[in-house]
Each structure stands twice: as C-alpha cells, then as structure tokens.
Amino acid sequence: MSKTWLITGASTGLGRLMTERLLARGDRVVATLRREGVLDELREVHGERLLVLTLDLTDVPGIREVTRQAFAQMGRIDVVVSNAGYGLFGAAEELGDAQIDHQIATNLTGSIQLIRAVLPHLRAQGGGRIVQVSSEGGQKAYPNFSLYHATKWGIEGFVESTAQEVAPFGIDFILVEPGPTATDFASGLVQGTPMDVYDATPAGDIKRALADGSFEIKGDAARTVDAMIAAADEATPSLRLALGSSAYTGIKQALEERLYALEAQRDVAFSADVG
C-alpha cells in the first residue's frame, strides 16, 4: 500500500533523494523548500503525487499554514520527515549573535514548531510517524560545531519527551543519526569570523581537516536514505537509528565514556539523597 509523506528541506541532499525514491516507488510526497522551482522537473513527471510548498522553518506562522495545506490537500499524511536544517561552523567565541539566533531558529525551534504543528492532524487521523533527522552530533560533539550540536542535542531531548506524550495516540518517532555523509552539507556551512587564537587548538585542527579534505566522510547518501525509508516502513522501529560506521562507533564510544564517568560518581550521587 502506498504512503503519503511530508518532507522538509527537499530541494537538496537527503531530502531530495528521499523525495525521488518515494515518488519512484509510487508514494505521494509533500515536499517543502525555500526556493520555488527547484522540483519542477519532478512535478512534471509525477504530477499530483508531488505537492511542492514553500516553507522557511524560521517562519512559525508559515509552518502552521503549510502544515494545514498539506493535510487539507492530501487528506492523510503517514510520515512526516523533519529534515530541513544547516550547520553553523566555528569556535563558540567566533560566532555572531545573529548567526546563533538563526541556527537555533532553524534547526531547533523550527523543528519543534513543525512537530507541534503536525501533532493535532496526526491525532485526528488516528496516528502517524515523525522522522526527525538529527545527527551523530546529537549524541557526541566535535570542536567548531557547538551551536549545531546544541540544536541536535536539543531536538533529541524534545523528541524523546514528546514521544512519550503522544504514544497513546498512535504517534511514534524515529531519530535518524547519520555520521558524516557525502551530501552538500559542507558547502552549506555558515562560518563564524576566524580568530587566530584558535589556530593551534582542536578547533583549528577541525577547520584545517575540512579545508584540505582530510576530514573523513564515510556515509553514502543513497544508502542512508534507503535505510531511513526502510526504518520508516517498519511496524515498530527503534527510537534512534544510527547510520554509517562513523556514527555507530562514535556514538558507542561517547556513550561508553559517559557511562564510565557516571559509574565512577555513584557514591557521590547517592550521598546527595535525603538521609
């Protein structure tokens, strides 16, 4: 049976690939993007099975209106894929106030408001699934990505809590956590103003690795999208889905280190209880 999907950030990268694959298998897609005309050739091929709507995630009233249009025109949406976002790159001290505000407004607040906007519609239709594209950076952190990590760690906490709230309504979530993947993500990075003082620090090392191509990118975009679709098709998928060997090993190491540190604090933790 075919499904209907709502995908944000569908103009490039994982969102574009997912849109193409779903249409090719006969599903219907509501694709949102910021620039009109990007998906015109797909619309010519797939006709009414592709609805393209313009959306900027920093526009909260716009999120609600686009969501209303999507459900009104499609009747039912089975899977909502919150994919839109970008990366802000630079040491925390190098970033501008406006850059920080825009990163949070897009990746975190925008994703939160999208989820809030679709929940009433999913409840009304008796359930549905929300796929939130996070990152391995939702459970571990690199230098120079502090604000990007803040948004990904933040949305993971929001989703984990909200999933418990709406499970009785037949609504569930998947947090997708890809490692570095061969998309156009790097070309879309917004950068802070460099400060020489960070050249000989881990922040400088990451900056040079990205500039000279030595920052390893193992993830394949097509295989990542195929795994996302397969997980969304499952009856009862896991809440979190790590994709790529870098994501798996990096997240595993980060969790093990945190667990080791927590266990070492057991006596101190218990000592803070009421006597």
Cα–Cα distances (Å) from 273 to 64, 95, 244, 263, in that order, read 45, 40, 41, 17
In a domain, 254, yes or no: no
Q: How many CB atoms lie within 10 A of CB 32?
A: 27
50 close to 39: Cβ distance less than 8 angstroms: yes
pLDDT digits (tens, 9 = 90+) for 187-212: 678 999 999 999 999 999 999 988 88
Reference 149, options 166, 137, 157; nearest CA is 137
Reference 92, options 141, 27, 45; nearest CA is 141
- pLDDT score at 35: 85
- pLDDT score at 185: 65
In a domain, 274, yes or no: no
**Residue reference for tokens 């057991």:** 266
Range of the domain at 238: 4-246
pTM of the model: 0.94
CATH number at residue 41: 3.40.50.720
Q: How many residues does the chain have?
A: 275
- 58: which 2 tokens? 């920093």
Determine the Cα–Cα distance for residues 28 and 21; give it in Å rounded to an integer. 11
Residue 172 exposed, middle or buried by CB count within 10 Å (0-12, 13-18, 19+): middle
In a domain, 97, yes or no: yes
In a domain, 28, yes or no: yes
In a domain, 266, yes or no: no
> Average pLDDT of the chain?
94
Residues of the chain with pLDDT under 50: none
Which residues are marked as active site? 134, 148, 152
In a domain, 239, yes or no: yes
- Counting the structural domains of the chain, the total is 1
Q: Let me know the angle formed at the C-alpha of 131 by 128 and 137, rounded to the nearest 5 degrees.
A: 155
In a domain, 258, yes or no: no
109 close to 84: Cβ distance less than 8 angstroms: no
Reference 7, options 60, 78, 97, 59; nearest CA is 78
In a domain, 268, yes or no: no
